[in-house]
Amino acid sequence: MEFSTKVVHGAHDHLVGRHGEGLKLAVQVLSRDSYNVSITASGCNWRFDMHADAASVSCAVTPSQKTKSIEWTDPALDMASLRYHVGRDVAVVIGARRARSGQPPIALDAFVNWLHLTTMDIRGLTYPSVIISTPHGDFILDPQLRGPLYHNGITLTSSTVGGAFLFAYNFASLTTCHERHRLKSWRDAARQVQRIWEEAPCKQKDTILPLLVDLLRKHARSADAEMIGPF
């Protein structure tokens, strides 16, 4: 579980180490708050234990017994049902708080509501109804998702750049702050929005061009128009 996001690349996206330091930090925080936390990935169970002094966390990795008996199903349906397969997915399981904590467990409804606020990438639960994918990111036309910016499916909670966005965008590559919740560079985001608008007509010309004309004529003060500038 190296702490660098550069340790594992490409063909090893299914490995837990590929997910960078954020996953391990989350485990430490949850363990400190008395939650039972485990990760399943790469055919193994990763179980964590916060030491009594709360200064360190130990991790025990054991082969999973479920890899030989699983029935492969549709990943999209599994995500919406909060199911996972050890040999295919990286899953974080947040169990009940330990008895001595005196705190109630996380309610399922509260967790699902949190998912709606933090991600657009769970098919059957939060995934947009209308989306155009491009090499630089997704152009989201779902009227229920007007305004947010996303980075690899995760909501950027602090992304104000002036006017409001008329559409939503999910960037494939973007520089964010260390906590991953806000833009680090407005110009970087503007370049990504420009490229998405340039590439989207190649996918759905009859849909995108009328939207572009309407955006530049009637919504010149929107964040979208400010970012794409002269087209």
- Output the tens digit of pLDDT for each of the chain's 231 residues: 444 444 444 445 555 445 555 677 777 788 777 788 888 888 888 887 777 666 677 788 888 877 655 566 787 778 778 888 888 888 888 877 766 656 677 788 888 888 888 888 888 788 888 999 999 999 999 988 888 888 888 888 755 556 688 899 999 887 666 556 666 677 788 888 999 999 999 999 999 999 999 999 999 888 888 888 765
146: helix, strand or coil:
coil
Q: Based on the domain organization, do 150 and 179 belong to the same domain?
A: yes
Q: Based on the domain organization, do 149 and 67 belong to the same domain?
A: no
Q: Based on the domain organization, do 72 and 33 belong to the same domain?
A: yes
Q: Based on the domain organization, do 211 and 166 belong to the same domain?
A: yes
Q: Which of 59, 75, 106 is the last residue of a domain?
A: 106
Q: Based on the domain organization, do 30 and 87 belong to the same domain?
A: yes
What strands, in cross-sheet order, belong to the sheet with 154-155? 131-134, 137-140, 168-171, 149-151, 154-155
Report the pLDDT value the prediction gives residue 204, as an integer from 0 to 100.
92
Tokens describing residue 80: 């919406």
107, 54, 6, 181: CA torsion to nearest 10:
50
Single out the residue of 137, 132, 160, 131 nearest to residue 148, CA to CA: 160
Structure letter (DSSP) for residue 4? -
pTM: 0.71
In angstroms, the CA 183 to CA 161 distance is: 9
Tokens describing residue 5: 């996001």
Note whether 151 and 176 are within 8 A (CB): yes
Q: Which of 78, 106, 134 is the last residue of a domain?
A: 106
Look at phi and psi of residue 229 and say left if phi exceeds 0, alpha if psi is from -120 to 50, else beta. left
Q: Based on the domain organization, do 69 and 158 belong to the same domain?
A: no
Q: Based on the domain organization, do 131 and 211 belong to the same domain?
A: yes
Report the pLDDT value the prediction gives residue 46, as an integer from 0 to 100.
83
Which residue segment(s) compose the domain that 52 sits in? Answer: 21-106
Q: Which of 106, 139, 167 is the last residue of a domain?
A: 106
| Residue 12 is assigned to a structural domain of this protein | no
| Residue 117 is assigned to a structural domain of this protein | no
Report the pLDDT value the prediction gives residue 172, as an integer from 0 to 100.
86
Report the pLDDT value the prediction gives residue 131, as an integer from 0 to 100.
92
Report the pLDDT value the prediction gives residue 88, as an integer from 0 to 100.
82
Q: Based on the domain organization, do 42 and 92 belong to the same domain?
A: yes
Query: Residue 13: how many CB atoms within 10 A of its CB?
Result: 10
Question: Which amino acid, one-letter code, is at 173?
Answer: S
Q: Based on the domain organization, do 86 and 175 belong to the same domain?
A: no
Report the pLDDT value the prediction gives residue 7, as an integer from 0 to 100.
43
Residues in contact with 116: Cβ distance below 8 Å, sequence separation at least 6, in sequence order: 125, 126
| Residue 5 is assigned to a structural domain of this protein | no
Q: Count of domains in the chain?
A: 2
Report the pLDDT value the prediction gives residue 100, as an integer from 0 to 100.
63
Q: Based on the domain organization, do 101 and 142 belong to the same domain?
A: no
